[in-house]
Chain A
Amino acid sequence: MSTTVSAELAKALEGFIIKEAKLADEGQYEAWESLWADDAVYWVPLRDGDDPTQQVSHLYDNRRRLATRIRQLMTGYRYSQLPISGMRRLISNYEFFAEDDGRYRVEANFFLPEYSIQSIHDFRIWSGRYVYTLSAKDDDFQIHTKKVLLVNGTEPVPTMAFLI
């Protein structure tokens, strides 16, 4: 069973997600990585309902692969993010839930304009739904899972080497 959370807790969870979005937009890679728990799953399936043990995803990172992703971005030779895309994402239509295991589930829609400046200087729109599992850590939160449901995940999509 999941239940709704207090307005105060919702505000704090929203603040955490806004912080995470800002770090991703600005390519503050180490700070972004520090938000993740050891059991991290950073996942972009092709479509909602896909089983990651049976079906291929755009990405399905555990904590170790997520660290590799960050190391690669920080080498200075990740051409698909060199320089980093211009990004400012908007997150809205939040729903906050407290789960039985003490974790929080936050779902929200996102709208991510990306100015892809690595090759053809293309302005792109990414959109979909974020589904987070978070838990309290110290005076803040940590991310256990972030599932990104693209509205067009089963269609051809261009390079997505940034943190979505």
Chain B
Amino acid sequence: MSKIDYHHLIQEDKIHGSLYIDEAIYEDELEKLFYSSWVFIGHESEIKKRGDYITRDIGRSSVIMVRGKDEDIQVIVNRCQHRGNLLCNESQGNKRNFTCPYHGWVFGLNGDLLDVSYPGGFDKPLEELNLEVLVTDSYRGFVFASFKKPTVSFDDYLGHGKALIDRACNMSPNGKIDLKGGWIRQHFDANWKMLPENDTDGYHVNYVHQSFVRAIDSQYGDFVGAEDTIKGVIKNWGNGHTEIDFAPGYTKTLDWLGSTPEKVKSYVESMTATYGKETADKMLYDGPPHACIFPNLFLAEMNIVIFQPTGSNSAVQWSTPMFLDGASELDFKLLRQSEGALGPASFLLADDASIAERAQKALGAGTPWCDLSRGLNRETEDSDGVITSHMTDETSNRGFWHHYRSLMTGELS
């Protein structure tokens, strides 16, 4: 049993700095959040054909997400059951089966051991040494998995996250996104939890991104102003899923795309054809979600982002543009917007990384408390339990941390 007192470290209005630096807590997180609970692996559009695969790192384990012979998708541990060698060294590719480079053992796309070289000296039934397969489920192409069967069902885990994923996918006139643009990977010398925290923190924009706001005319410029002029809201959707809802602050259709209906006429027409004018108009005004799905997926408006912990003091943020099936005329714009916002040379995330690393450095010097009280005096909760507050409030981070606490204490898993 864990000796770490998470109820002490995570309180209603403050959290302890050791949560970002303590090695024992990091190990505990790998075990409870990344090996025994649902985590995002990848999207079906990344592996379109039979035999297509991608590799991802979940905690310290490399996994393969592969489309098998019945078009079904499996997530398999990337480790030969013979002597533990890495089966796939590439980040993506296409294979008929997985052959270990060490002694030539051959595994099928479903992980079954098919053949052993020089079988005369091997007397076990092959099926005893099939590859380890993760518990896998998916929603609208978003594939999630767990090494151990989670006690919480996939539906209960996603909860309101389904509606957030729906909003992202429905930005496509065909209801489908396509992650074919490649992944930028940005290294952070900071704890992984600072990434989801920061990505739904509506309070830092005026400060961390001051240079961006001053240098460029963008939709974010509208959110810089006195406290009572900010119309966007922050939401805690439950289960650790959180959102900055920018829509109330938008002033015109397609503000979120930095475009107008005249400039992207065919996209507007195909959206109208699919969803009807009234619904399409609202979707094109409100835009995609800016929301984190606990623990490692970020629906980053027109991008998809993955958080990957690589140690108590380091993390990698993956980002790719969210291309819309049926709207390829937007691809070039989405590529350039993705590079502008996300990645090591971007106008935004480069500064977020430096600020996170400064926090990591400061927290490492001692074990202070971090305040988490902002907005407790003005939140509202609806009948579904969804909590909403001013865009700059820490409602989102409280949502993240209090769900984190329930998993780490074993009250949920």
- CB-CB under 8 A from B180, the residues of chain A are 54
| Shortest Cβ distance from A46 into B: residue | B182
B60 close to chain A: CB less than 8 A: no
Contact check, B344 vs A58: say whether CB atoms are below 8 A apart.
Answer: yes
Query: Quick check: which of B185-193, B194-202, B282-290 contacts chain A, the rest being far away?
Result: B185-193
User: Is the interface on chain B under 10, 10 to 19, 20 to 34, or 35 or more residues?
Assistant: 35 or more
Asked if A56 contacts B181 (CB within 8 A), the reply is yes
Chain B 201-229 residues near chain A, CB threshold 8 A: 208, 210-212, 214-216
* CB-CB under 8 A for A53 and B208, given A118-B354, A157-B186, A160-B345: no
Contact with B along A77-110 (1 / 0, CB 8 A): 1111000000000000000000000000000000
CB within 8 A of A75: which of B182, B189, B215, B353? B215
Given the interface pairs A44-B345, A68-B347, A120-B361, the reply to whether A75 lies near B214 with Cβ below 8 Å is: yes
User: Is A11 interfacial (CB-CB < 8 Å)?
Assistant: no
Beta-carbon contact of B360 and A56 below 8 Å:
no
Residues of A contacting B355 with CB < 8 Å?
Answer: 79, 119
Shortest Cβ gap from A53 to chain B (Å): 6
Q: Kindly provide the distance from the CB of A123 to the nearest chain B CB, expressed in whole angstroms.
A: 13
- In the docked arrangement, what's the CA distance between A159 and B358, Å? 13
Q: Do the beta carbons of A55 and B181 come within 8 Å of each other?
A: yes
- Find out whether the CB atom of A56 lies under 8 angstroms from the CB atom of B347: no
Contacts A68-B215, A71-B215; A158 near B182 (Cβ below 8 A): no
CA distance A79 to B210 in the complex (A): 9
Cβ of A161 and Cβ of B350 under 8 Å apart? yes
**Which residues of chain B from 332 to 373 have any CB-CB distance to chain A below 8 Å in the complex?**
332, 335-336, 338-340, 343-347, 350-351, 353-355, 357-358, 360-361
Q: Mark A131-164, 1 if CB is under 8 A from B, else 0.
A: 0000000000000000000000011111111001
Contact for A79 among B188, B331, B346, B354, CB less than 8 A: B354
Residues A53 and B335 in contact, CB atoms below 8 Å apart: yes
**For chain B residues 106-143, which have a beta carbon within 8 Å of chain A?**
none
User: B316 in the interface, Cβ–Cβ < 8 Å?
Assistant: yes
A105 CA to B319 CA in the complex, in Å?
32
Nearest-neighbour CB distance to chain A for B343, whole angstroms, equals 6
A residues bordering B, Cβ < 8 Å?
A: 44, 46, 50, 52-60, 65, 68-69, 71-73, 75-80, 118-120, 122, 154-161, 164
The 24 sampled A-B contact pairs (Cβ below 8 Å) are: A53-B332, A54-B180, A55-B335, A56-B319, A56-B321, A56-B338, A56-B343, A59-B339, A60-B335, A68-B215, A69-B347, A72-B211, A72-B347, A77-B211, A77-B214, A79-B208, A80-B351, A120-B357, A120-B360, A156-B187, A157-B344, A158-B186, A158-B189, A159-B186
Closest 3 CB pairs of A and B: A119-B357, A72-B215, A77-B211
